[in-house]
Amino acid sequence: MKMSKMYFHTLRENPSEAEIPSHILLLRAGMIRKLVSGIYGFMPMGFRVIRKIEQIVREEMDAKGAQEILMSAIQPAELWQESGRWYAYGPEMFRLKDRNERDFCLGPTHEEIFTDIIRSEISSHKQLPVNLYQIQTKYRDEKRPRFGLMRSREFIMKDAYSFDKDWEGLDKSYEDMYDAYSRIFTRCGLEFRAVEADTGAIGGSDSHEFTALSEVGEGVIAYCEQCDFAATTERAACVDEPFGENETELPLEEVFTPGKKTIDDVAEFLNIPKNKIIKTLLFKVEDEVVAVLIRGDRELNETKLINALGIPEHLLEFADENTVKEVTGADTGFAGPRRLIGVRVIIDSELPKMKNMTAGANITDYHLKNLNYGRDYEGDIIVDLKLMAEGYPCPKCHAEVKLARGIEVGQIFKLGTKYSVPMGAVYTDENMEEKIMVMGCYGIGVSRTMAAVIEQNHDDNGIIWPPSIAPYHVIVTIVNTRDQQQMELAETIYAELTKAGLEVLMDDRDERAGVKFKDADLIGIPVRITVGKKASEGKVEYKLRKESEIIELTTSEAMERAITFCFSSKM
């Protein structure tokens, strides 16, 4: 491609709405364009990257015997009502009506649609297993769309669904996908970890998230260097660490704590450690109020709470001041476990083992000391609610856990029969008995992967694409386009490299060399071959985007190096 002819517009300034490198660079390099918040279009070079990632995904999915199809993005409500998710999915789903007032949605995911196809077309064990996938645009009206392609409202996803005869079959399908995903992200040039994950709104039993390590990631993973434990912090089980279990239970005491509303305030005022205080958090779940009790030095893991309550995520909200007053009879900041009226109480599993705790008295400006479980308060549900933190004991081997930030680029789930039961996806086995299909589902954020690769591969000057997904492999920069010799040599290199199977960009624009170098860096083409004054001697400059060194080489040496470099890292 000749750059003089290419539809290509870079931005000189950093776009004000962009905060992270991938978002800034994708906009600046003219690879994406924003339509409205969270909705982007792909420009020629950006779209080439998307197609490359898609191609890698296709090759690895096909290698595992998965077959590509393409379903509609628009989906009828009835299927979602059958699975029970029309209601559970909440405001993240884009909903619409047709002219006859029939309900539809723009697919945020496709479990129902694929299950519907399979149940109507497969009836015998001989037709199983099947793994179907698609690469398609998904729609989610995210609460906080941000960071460009990272969390958008319209995005490209590869989603696959496996249907097996039994759990053993699912285990195999799942393993295959785990393997395919590892290969896909490796080929895309990502540094990633596969970690145990929560199953969230999709449901099911086991799940792994593929997390690209990055400081800007919204996800946090916990891992252990002494054993193989690795999980998202949402998922990570925490070890109870009660102490003072043999303390004598002291008499309950009401203490005056004027204006002391936070755990820190109370700890300081009463001169007690934070881990001897109970934090009481009040939530609203539709019409119900729920009190959550956890030790003062711990953070609540909302995912664990949602799972314990068995509710969809969007139904959980903090109780407002009036509600707090109503159920506690006190101002916010003085809630505690005693005498809560009409409130369900969920207790972190550590608390019942702790003695003589302090908590709000449900009276403004008062706290209670020496609260003991069983004697002074009780809970409706007792469960681990702790959010994993750096240094907490590993749930497997008790060594200290480490945390890292990351971007979730893919997730795989063992769905089991979560959809096949309500939707009646059944088959007849060898003995003509009716059996339920066992499902798995597997997603990759294709557009998010593109952003994640940039987060891991950029510098102050721009993107540094790995050759495997670069929009072009080589850029031939002509220093002076009015020089006939330079033009001719560039054309030869362009033709030869193209013939060798590389994708080549030729910067033949009538611009200063400095501008061209800047653009080449910004768009991140892995190899730059500069044709300048020494064209008359058949010499060029060779530079890798990821290195600063510029080497003078003969034309054929430069081409050979470019070919070797691109093919060896292409995998």
Q: Which residues bind ligand ATP (CB under 6 A)?
A: 109, 140, 142, 151-152, 155, 157, 200, 202, 408-411, 443, 445, 447-448
Q: Residue 432 has what DSSP assignment?
A: S
Q: Which residue lies nearer to ligand ATP by CB, 141 or 365?
A: 141
Q: Which residue lies nearer to ligand ATP by CB, 135 or 535?
A: 135
Rounded Cα distance, 69 and 134, in Å: 5
Query: What distances in angstroms separate CA 528 from CA 126, 323, 491, 525, 561, one per listed residue?
Result: 54, 64, 15, 7, 11
Signed CA dihedral, 8, 12, 18, 22: sign only: positive
Residue 132 parent element (H or E): strand 130-139
CB 211, min distance to ligand ATP, A: 9
Q: Which residue lies nearer to ligand ATP by CB, 29 or 446?
A: 446
Rounded Cα distance, 201 and 510, in Å: 54
Residue sitting closest to ligand ATP (CB): 445
CB 306, min distance to ligand ATP, A: 13
Closest by alpha carbon to 457, among 469, 466, 448, 467?
466
Q: How many CA atoms lie within 13 A of 252 on its CB side?
A: 15
Q: Which residue lies nearer to ligand ATP by CB, 184 or 493?
A: 184
CB 217, min distance to ligand ATP, A: 9
CB 188, min distance to ligand ATP, A: 12
Q: Which residue lies nearer to ligand ATP by CB, 66 or 282?
A: 66
CB 183, min distance to ligand ATP, A: 16
Q: Which residue lies nearer to ligand ATP by CB, 192 or 517?
A: 192
Rounded Cα distance, 532 and 408, in Å: 44
Q: Which residue lies nearer to ligand ATP by CB, 155 or 565?
A: 155
CB 128, min distance to ligand ATP, A: 24
Q: What DSSP line would sit under 235-254, residue for residue?
A: T---------TTPPPPPPEE
Rounded Cα distance, 505 and 490, in Å: 10
Three-state DSSP class for 352? helix
Q: Which residue lies nearer to ligand ATP by CB, 107 or 467?
A: 107
CB 475, min distance to ligand ATP, A: 29
Rounded Cα distance, 481 and 508, in Å: 6
CB 152, min distance to ligand ATP, A: 4
CB 194, min distance to ligand ATP, A: 12
Q: Which residue lies nearer to ligand ATP by CB, 217 or 471?
A: 217
Q: Which long-range contacts (CB under 8 A, 24 or more apart) does 532-539 make?
A: 532/479, 532/480, 532/486, 533/479, 535/483, 535/485, 535/486, 535/488, 535/489, 535/490, 536/485, 538/489
Rounded Cα distance, 147 and 399, in Å: 35
